[in-house]
Amino acid sequence: MLACYRKHCASPSAVSQLVLPDSMKVLPVYMNCLLKNYVLVGSPDISTDERTFQRQLIMSMDVADTQLFFYPQFIPVHNMDVQSETIPSSIRCPERSFVHTSELQ
């Protein structure tokens, strides 16, 4: 699949370079969210009935609802008013926020 994407859709690049479509760049984040979610991972804190209910709920969700359920949400605290008693609304973390540590130096 990636070879076809490179051949027909991507701009020319070195053969050794991995070329991914933008939608697949956050796939590791989605997979991590799935692997850590209590619906899929057994936990003694959650009853079997609750986990079964959550699985049925997820199976009936469309793509947009599934993204909201699994994709990490972040609360921006860097610009939060410390005097306020309200918690800022959560935001989706865009792909550009996942910066490799070598790029920070």
Per DSSP, the residues of 38-60 read TTTS--TTS-HHHHHHHHHHHHT
**H-helix or E-strand spanning residue 67:** helix 63-70
The pLDDT profile of the chain, 105 residues, written as one tens digit per residue, is 777 777 777 777 777 777 777 777 777 777 887 777 777 777 778 888 888 888 898 889 998 888 778 776 777 777 778 888 887 777 766 655 555 555 544
Instruction: Write the pLDDT tens digit of every residue in 41-65.
Output: 777 788 888 888 888 988 899 988 8
- Whose tokens are 């070879």? That residue is 3
User: What confidence score (pLDDT) does residue 104 get?
Assistant: 46
Q: Is the whole model's pTM more than 0.85, yes or no? A: no
3-state helix, strand, coil in the chain (%, to 5): 45, 5, 50
Backbone angles phi, psi at 99, to 5 degrees: -100, 135
**13-18-104-67 Cα dihedral, nearest 10 degrees:** 120
Q: What is the pLDDT of residue 67?
A: 78
Enter the tokens of residue 62. Answer: 């469309």
By percentage, how much of the chain surpasses pLDDT 70?
Answer: 84
- State the DSSP code for 12: P
